[in-house]
Structure 1
Amino acid sequence: MQRLPVFASLFLYALSLASPAFRFVKTFSTSAAGAGTPDIWNGLTVLLLGWLGFFFLQFGWAANPWYLLSLCWFWTDRWRGAAVMSGIALVFAANTLLLFRQTLPADEAGVGKLNLERLEVGFFFWISALLIPFVWSAVQLWRSQSWHSRSDDRIT
């Protein structure tokens, strides 16, 4: 039962890699005003190319290593470490929402631009996968602290 959240989280993470995550609108400076073509990125593409976001002050990809670290802490029942690591992962993941305000280059020549139109289901699978270790660790910490406080009340 203790390991079930890890497997559920990894399952959601795998689903996020196989699902569409972002829907961008690609525009070109040579095209007519308002004309844009949809460009859908799946989770695996985002995972493989996301590190390039650091060049554009987009740090959402950095949530992935922190998430993996949180799972390691989680697996060893170190709830405080797991909660901290997964909390840091969630903060980095929240940076992804800034994509709605950013324009990214779509090619190396700078002719094409990408604007995020909407988040797809893969993004929500990814966020859910990141939330599981955080929530479960927080609950385990709360239970252990409330158990200690109840036993302290009995001693005095």
Structure 2
Amino acid sequence: MSVEHKQEAPSSVRCKVITVSDTRDETTDRSGQLMQQLLKENHHEIIDYEIVKDERGAIEIAIRSGLADESIDAILLNGGTGIAKRDVTIEVVHALLDKEMQGFGELFRLLSYQEDIGTAAILSRATAGVAHNKAIFATPGSSGAVTLAMKRLILPEIGHVIREIRKDL
């Protein structure tokens, strides 16, 4: 990133966190809590947080709510990104994206392969992109995957991503 980009990137991003799960609630949602904690520790703001069932309609409503909220810059989802029949987060996200950031999923899988889970990384469909001038990141729901995605990819680049989205507005 050039010096200009660093200077123009916001130091604080306003976020919505969505956990996709059929079984978690606010007391058992370790990944959603971790995502929020890491954002706050890095001076980002949590505008909204919700847990939704792994169902297309519920996920879409939660994302669209974030897209419609002018106070939100980025939407971060965890869960529902695998290959099981009930895992539909990625299909919903892709249907809403204006642009996909393929590098996010590619790097996430590479890092997962190298650091965490070996060849099982092929099962991950993590993705990111832009919809309605907002960043969207979708990660697996395990706390290990959230930690990896947040620390190695999202937190280092989220301000830069928002700067790029806003620069032509």
Alignment TM-score, normalising by the size of structure 2:
0.25
Higher helix share: 1
Structure showing greater Rg: 1
Alignment TM-score, normalising by the size of structure 1:
0.27
Whose relative contact order is higher, 1 or 2, with alpha carbons under 8 Å and at least 6 apart? 1
